[in-house]
Amino acid sequence: MGVPLLVRLQSYLGPLLLLSISIIYLPITLLFHPFLFLFSPSSFRSKWFENFWRIVGPQMAASELQAEHIEELLSRAHGQVLELGPGGGDQIYHYKAGQVETLYGAEPNAFLHSRLAEMAAKHGLGDKFVAIDAAAQPGSLLPALKEARLVSSKTASLPEEGVFDSVVAIKSLCSAPQGQLASTVAVVQALLKPGGEFLFFEHVENSTDAVTMYYAWLLDWIWPLFMGGCRLNGKIDRVVLGMGGWDERRVTTVGDFQGHEVFRYVKGICRKA
């Protein structure tokens, strides 16, 4: 393994830094929301993540290395758009508001909704934005889409002609249940109109470097607790490449990934057949 030790350590420090910031927000959130902690632990976790993400989200979205790729993806979104896990809307500025008819943001953390709506308004999507209180996995998403009358609640099957022109996920599917990733993407595909696109930017697992893999495995024991359920062993690339029904799918690693980094980011453009 030809990676200099210092370079390796540097890339291992990144996740620890994020953990530290999250840890700082734990007592702060406790102080202001003790009753949430006592009576609604899951709401407390959401509140904690919101406090953390309000600071970290804008920083991450400003990363020039990533912004260019996210811009490429979001500028393709048009017509009826569904975004999974838009967070506080820090990436919304990439959308071409003129080509979007409606942007549905399925964000399970309701504490982030107000900022999300603010950001949509700020970037020309004010009257085109609809927040949906749901997660990406089918058991949460489908009932919410039925309630929003985007999918008929009378039939069990999804409409043949699809519902959305674009479905977007930016660093959110790592937090969705990994065991349901395949069914989640299958539903995304079913919800797309023929020719519609699934556009994603996510970090995924990589096995090039054994030490890094072990480090990520170790970290992953506590990572989800502090990072709003995020997992370090995402497999969206493999899921998408292993399924049929796409006309075209381009999944590419972004940046100059060398194998020893904990995060391998991939960008995907998948067009439904």
Ligand X SMILES: *[C@@H]1O[C@H](CO)[C@@H](O)[C@H](O)[C@H]1NC(C)=O
Residues that bind ligand SAM (CB under 6 A): 57, 61, 84-87, 90-91, 107-109, 112, 135-137, 170-172, 175-176, 228-229
Q: How far is it, in rounded angstroms, from Cα 180 to Cα 174?
A: 11
CB of 134 vs ligand SAM, minimal distance in Å: 8
Residue 117 token pair:
């709506």
CB of 183 vs ligand X, minimal distance in Å: 21
Q: Rule CB under 6 A: which of 239-268 touch ligand X?
A: 253, 257, 264
Q: Where are the beta strands (DSSP E) in 62-185?
A: 79-84, 100-106, 129-132, 164-170
CB of 135 vs ligand SAM, minimal distance in Å: 3
Would strands 79-84 and 264-272 be described as parallel, antiparallel, or unpaired? unpaired
* Residue 113 binding partner per list ligand X, ligand SAM, none, with a CB distance cut-off of 5 to 8 Å that depends on partner kind: none
Smallest CA-to-CA distance from 240 within 191, 162, 188, 165 is with 188
CB of 18 vs ligand SAM, minimal distance in Å: 10
Q: How far is it, in rounded angstroms, from Cα 158 to Cα 238?
A: 24
Q: What's the DSSP call for residue 226? A: H
* Residue 229 binding partner per list ligand SAM, ligand X, none, with a CB distance cut-off of 5 to 8 Å that depends on partner kind: ligand SAM
Q: How many other CB atoms are found less than 10 A from the CB of residue 152?
A: 12
In order, the DSSP letters of 138-157 are: HHHHHHHHHHTTSS-SS-SS
* Residue 145 binding partner per list ligand SAM, ligand X, none, with a CB distance cut-off of 5 to 8 Å that depends on partner kind: none
Asked if 208 is part of the footprint of ligand X (rule: CB under 6 A), the reply reads yes
Q: How many other CB atoms are found less than 10 A from the CB of residue 261?
A: 23
Smallest CA-to-CA distance from 74 within 33, 29, 35, 105 is with 105
Of 28-36, 89-97, 204-212, 240-248, the segment contacting ligand X by CB under 6 A is 204-212
* Residue 57 binding partner per list ligand SAM, ligand X, none, with a CB distance cut-off of 5 to 8 Å that depends on partner kind: ligand SAM
Asked if 111 is part of the footprint of ligand X (rule: CB under 6 A), the reply reads no
Binding site for ligand X (CB under 6 A): 206-208, 253, 257, 264
